[in-house]
Amino acid sequence: MPPTFDVIVIGVGGMGSAACFELARRGRRVLGLEQFPLVHDRGSSHGQTRIIRTAYYEHPNYVPLLRRAWVRWYELEQRIGRHLLTECPCLSIGLEDGELIRGVRTSAAEHNLAVKNMTVADIARRTPFRFPDGYAGVLERQAGFLAVEECVRAHVDAAAALGAEIHAEEPVRSWKADGDEVEVTTEKETYRAARLVVTAGAWANPLLAELGVPLKVMRQVMLWIDVSANPYMFRRDQFPMFIAETPQGDFYGLPAIDEYGLKVARHYGAPELSSPDQVNWDATTEDVPPVKSFLDRHVLGAGGAVTNGQVCMYTVSPDKHFVIDTHPEHANVSFACGFSGHGFKFSSVIGEVLADLAERGETNHAIDMFRLGRFE
């Protein structure tokens, strides 16, 4: 007989590792299947840091999930005994009537979040940023950054400590649902379980092909810039994390926390690809000019050389909102994908959501805007 579990989780990255942990915490017999080595650099959950913020410009409906995510990150730190989340202000900068500034202010107003509005003169007095008239800033204190690889590792370790089996380098070839059971076949074995959770990132398309989930893949490049000539300016007690909306594209960055310096990347702006197999995983000299141009225009003292570059993937849905639901034909199959480059901060709470869906087919968390039916 094939090995049998309560729940099988396909994909043990940011979301899958959190789901494995939460299900194991609830006493379920869990198998997590990952095609790559654990905590790998071929997906969307690597690159040293990820921003977490609360006044969410993308939509106010994310804010309750974020509030819960903060709680779960602190609980994970306490459980595992490792530092994962560093609090750091986040400064959003954009045109006064642009999507970013309007969105941050709307979420802050709807959820009574403390933010500080800043003029371009205020920004120039307090930071190295320089923007012309017509721009504005919103500073948010309830923000910080997550040590992304360590967060995935913490969820994996916590799940394993609770009895979950986590199999690395075991690609899934197929799955099928048969009544009250699912069967998952990998390169090594066939497994059975009562429930299946698919958190396969950019590989969700072939696993969920019959649903027609309209996901695309976007290659994104993170760069680190030498700021050793002006180290004081870019320390995290002086320099906030930032998101900037400009005519040349959207950019984000984090303060210098090690010898690599300032981390900066362009958000979106790259071609949408049909498969992760099309991604070039090497950062190249062609990836540098858009970021350097942004820094030259808008950030004093950030003209140093590139010290490091890493490539990651966004798995993008048509509306850039998450896709979380149960399978319309198989109630014991649930999935989470299409996190569109802004999902990792939510993974601690998405683990709860997925555990709820696996156990009872519903959750008390507000996920209606992420349901698959919106694409019909």
Q: How far is CA 121 from the centre of its chain?
A: 32
Backbone phi and psi for residue 51, each to the nearest 5 degrees, phi listed first = -75, 140
CA atoms of 308 and 69, how far apart (whole Å) = 30
Give 28's DSSP letter: -
Q: How many residues does the chain have?
A: 376
Instruction: Tell me which residues are annotated as active site.
Output: 46, 49-50, 263, 267, 312, 345
Q: Which residues of 135-167 are buried (b: 16+ CB within 10 A; e: fewer)?
A: bbbbbbbbbbbbbbbbbbbbbbbbbbebebbbb
Q: CA 10, 11, 15 angle in degrees (round to 5)? A: 115
Contact indicator for 184, 200 with CB cutoff of 8 Å: no
Catalogue the long-range contacts made by 74-78 (C-beta closer than 8 Å, 24 or more residues apart): 76/21, 76/151, 76/154, 76/155, 76/158, 76/348, 77/154
From the list 316, 310, 312, 311, the residue with the least C-alpha distance to 274 is 316
The sign of the dihedral angle between the CA atoms of 179, 181, 185, 190 is negative
Q: CA 108, 91, 251 angle in degrees (round to 5)? A: 115
Give the containing element (helix H, strand E) for 207: helix 204-207
